[in-house]
Amino acid sequence: MEKTIITENAYVLIRRHGGDILSHPSFKALSRNKQHHNSNTYSHLIHVTVIAIKIARAWRVKVDERSFVRAALLHDYYLYDWHDKPNRKKQHARRHAVYAADNAERDFGITPYERKLILNHMWPVNPHKLPYGKAGWIIVLADKIATFQELFSKVSSEDNYTNKPSI
Ligand SMILES: [Fe+2]
Ligand SMILES: [Fe+2]
């Protein structure tokens, strides 16, 4: 695992390391699942990944670029709509990281390190699962920032994250 400082555009990195994820039918279908007030799960995952890349780049934190991007893209890959009470799984807030990691392993063969980043993204809801290393802390922070924006911004995160090659 080689750790480097990110210098490139977020969308270039997402396409390079997550092209197979973006084109997977199950991932595309996440755009039908509501996430927060102004987002669906698909747009939330892109939103979080872009913010995580921007933070790592701005703070010059060395990360394993590929794993960092893939774990951020898949951190909420639990594949159901959590607003759909009859069909959502039990204890969604505490357990969806496990569902996401299991689905990501099945569909994309994630590495043990990527699995750990995904499993530990719900701190402090899961207080005993501390974010895993600096990359894990950045993903957790990006998730909180993205969630806040999606709850309170008037512009949908989907509008924000279509064709923005300059970030
Ligand atoms: Fe989550
Ligand atoms: Fe999330």
Q: Give the pLDDT score at 80.
A: 92
pTM tops 0.95: no
In a domain, 166, yes or no: no
Q: Give the pLDDT score at 162.
A: 60
Task: Give distance in angstroms: CA of 79 to centre of ligand 1.
Answer: 12
Alpha carbon 55 to its chain centroid, in Å, reads: 14
- CA 138 – CA 156 distance, rounded (Å): 23
134: which residues sit within 8 A by CB, 6+ positions away? 61, 62, 63
Q: Give the pLDDT score at 37.
A: 85
Domain CATH number, residue 25: 1.10.3210
In a domain, 165, yes or no: no
Structural domains counted in the chain: 1
Which ligand neighbours the alpha carbon of 100 most closely?
Answer: 1
In contact, 1 and 159? CB cutoff 8 Å: no
155: which residues sit within 8 A by CB, 6+ positions away? 38
85: which residues sit within 8 A by CB, 6+ positions away? none
80: which residues sit within 8 A by CB, 6+ positions away? 33, 87, 88, 89
Task: Give distance in angstroms: CA of 49 to centre of ligand 2.
Answer: 10
Which ligand neighbours the alpha carbon of 143 most closely?
Answer: 2
In a domain, 167, yes or no: no
Q: Which residues of the chain are under the pLDDT cut of 70? A: 155, 157-167
In contact, 52 and 165? CB cutoff 8 Å: no
Give the structural domain span for 10: 4-79+88-160
Task: Give distance in angstroms: CA of 155 to centre of ligand 1.
Answer: 21
Task: Give distance in angstroms: CA of 75 to centre of ligand 2.
Answer: 6
User: Which tokens belong to 145?
Assistant: 């920032």
Which ligand neighbours the alpha carbon of 122 most closely?
Answer: 1
- CA 49 – CA 60 distance, rounded (Å): 16
Which ligand neighbours the alpha carbon of 147 most closely?
Answer: 2
Which ligand neighbours the alpha carbon of 94 most closely?
Answer: 1
User: Which tokens belong to 71?
Assistant: 């774990």
DSSP H helical ranges for the chain: 10-22, 25-28, 41-58, 65-74, 92-108, 112-119, 133-152, 157-160
